Amino acid sequence: MKIRTCVWAAAMLLACGAQAQTLTGWALMPAATFTDGPTSGQFASPNPYGTYLPPYVGQQPVQGFSGVLPGPRRNSFQFLVDNGFGARANSADAVLRAYTLKIDWKTARGGSGSVSPADRESGHKRTAFDASTRIAFNDAQHQVPWPIQADFEHYYNDPAKPAVDATVRERRLLTGADFDIESIRLDRHGHYWLGDEFGPYLLKTDDQGTLLRAPIPLPGVYAPENNEVANGQANANLPGSGGFEGMALNASGTRLYTLLEKTVSGDPAKTLRIDEFDLDTEAYTGLRYHYVLETAGTAIGDMVAIDDQRFIVIERNGATDTGGGTPFKKLFLVDLDGVAPGGIVQKTELVDLMNVADPSDLNSDGSQVFTLPYVTIENVLVMDERTLLVANDNNFPYGGGRELAADATEFLRIKLPVALKAR
């Protein structure tokens, strides 16, 4: 059975009033989850709820998950943390990392629903998010051709601001004022590729997180934070926070497909570019497709490959249960088959994250319908042909997704009604 037939069958189930997807596992990581590191949050505003007030002395929040990879053992996963507190101007002391977690899924048969630190090499549970659980992205080889925070004595190169942490300077750690990394892939050579929003740039690192080459720009696209824009060599044509929110590695391991979060000036409204990048030549091929947002959609959250031509994309709006409006949080199956270069990709709804069957009430909210109403949902992983992992970016210390409080991070294991068989 081809995937379109499978998805059609799922749509028919919905039309008949049945649930087309089921929550089979759930877990939660509390908002106040910290690790050691340089003092953070010195430039961040407090949330309106009066809790978890910055700064965080000698700590970094384990928060803002914006990309996910499989971990070294069953139920372990590697999650990418984004730029920190949401903007270049408040994230200079947030170091860029990826953490390995182990999830004890709450299921119909038991399980705690807890999330633990895990060793990044073995996947075994650890007692704390220490150095063994993470990658610290850095420019120890001086690949970035413009100044980064590690080059300054004071954050933002401003003597009126605090001194840059000695660890940042000594290890040339990358921070949220240098890049806003929102997507991560691991190639067949063991190199990480990160999708950034400030360029937008592609970043290539080794397995320890050290940059191996200069950031790679997307030709003709300039975010406001792009280095050429900052130097007056180009004009911004992409809104802020509009870069590589999604990035997929095809099943063959030969191509990356970058997906912008926002529309480039001059492109049709609600149209997002998908660009193909060749990993052997480390260059864009010039092949481009376009993804069109739904009427209710305002942005994408992540993109993962099923095979060489099909992908799953998270699409959302900014509405929550507490902020007004109707939350729109869905997964779409995207197909390049038969789409001409420059054309619009085919989309089929796969999962409505505001309408997931939860017959065992795994999150104990008293309902057999599960909803995920957070502002940003930025992680999707294909665990097997019928199972997806989905998690939100909690934007710590901010929130308001389920209640007027800092958001937790929730992890979902969703069973599909039909298999996503590769073709």
In SS3 terms, 334-356 reads as EECCCCCCCCECEEEEEEECCCE
List, for residues 61-100, the tens digit of each pLDDT value. Answer: 998 999 999 999 999 999 999 999 999 999 999 999 999 9
DSSP secondary structure letters along 37-94: SS-B-TTPPPPTT--SPSPBTTEEE---EEEEEE-SSTTEEEEEE-SSSSSGGG-TT-
pLDDT of the residue at 13: 38
Taking a C-beta distance cutoff of 8 angstroms, is the pair 374, 401 a contact? yes
What mean pLDDT is predicted for residues 346-372? 97
Could you read off the pLDDT of 253-277 as tens digits, one per residue?
999 999 999 999 999 999 999 999 9
| pLDDT over threshold 80, residue 306 | yes
Our count of domains for the chain comes to 1
Tokens of 51: 């809790």
Given a cut of 70, whether residue 382 has pLDDT beyond it is: yes
Name the band, by pLDDT with cuts 50, 70 and 90, for residue 2: very low
Amino acid at position 258, single letter: T
pLDDT band at residue 353 under the 50/70/90 scheme: very high
Rounded CA-CA distance 92/153 in Å is: 12
pLDDT tens-digit readout, 179-202:
999 999 999 999 999 999 999 999
pLDDT of the residue at 358: 98
Average pLDDT over residues 329-351: 97
pLDDT of residue 63: 86
- β-bridge mates for residue 394, sequence order: none
With respect to residue 63, please indicate whether it lies within any of the assigned structural domains.
Answer: yes
Residue environment code for 88-100, b if the CB has 16+ CB neighbours within 10 A, otherwise e: bebbbbbbbbbbb
Across 30-36, average pLDDT: 96
Give the count of beta carbons closer than 10 Å to the beta carbon of residue 57.
10
Which residues sit opposite 255 in a β-bridge? 278
Q: What CATH number is attached to the domain comprising 260?
A: 2.115.10
- Taking residues 348-354, report their average pLDDT: 97
Could you tell me whether strands 369-370 and 356-357 are parallel, antiparallel, or unpaired per DSSP bridges? antiparallel
In a domain, 2, yes or no: no
Task: Give 67's strand partners.
Answer: 80
Instruction: Judge whether residue 18 has pLDDT over 70.
Output: no
Report the percent of the chain where pLDDT is more than 90.
Answer: 94
Q: Read off the pLDDT band of 15 (50, 70, 90).
A: very low
The answer to the question of residue 293 being in a domain is yes
Dist CA 126 CA 21 (whole Å): 33
Task: Answer yes or no: is 8 within a domain.
Answer: no
Enumerate the β-bridge partners of residue 278.
255, 283
Query: Could you give the C-alpha distances from 313 to 261, 300, 380, 406, in angstroms and in order?
Result: 11, 7, 8, 26
Residue 420 maps to a domain: no
Mean pLDDT of 30-52: 96
- Domain containing 298: what range? 21-415
User: What confidence score (pLDDT) does residue 20 get?
Assistant: 79
pLDDT band at 11 (very low <50, low <70, confident <90, very high): very low
The H-or-E segment that residue 25 falls in is strand 22-29
Burial class (CB in 10 A: 0-12, 13-18, 19+), 384: exposed
- Sequence-distant (6+) residues with CB within 8 A of 340 are none
pLDDT band (50, 70, 90) for residue 6 = very low
Q: Is pLDDT above 80 for 10?
A: no
Please check the confidence at residue 42 and state whether its pLDDT lies above 50: yes
Is there a domain that residue 7 lies in? no
Q: pLDDT-derived band of residue 8, with 50, 70 and 90 as boundaries?
A: very low
- Whether residue 14 has pLDDT greater than 70: no
Q: What gap in Å lies between CA 181 and CA 173, rounded to an integer?
A: 14
Whole-number average pLDDT of the chain: 94
Does 315 fall in a domain? yes
Q: How far apart are CA 224 and CA 231, in angstroms?
A: 11
The rounded Cα 45 to chain-centroid distance in angstroms is: 22
| pLDDT of res. 17 | 37
Domain contains 331: yes
Among candidate residues 129, 108, 135, the one with its CA nearest the CA of residue 117: 129
Average pLDDT over residues 129-151: 98
Q: Dihedral of the CA atoms 224, 226, 228, 230 (nearest 10)? A: 60
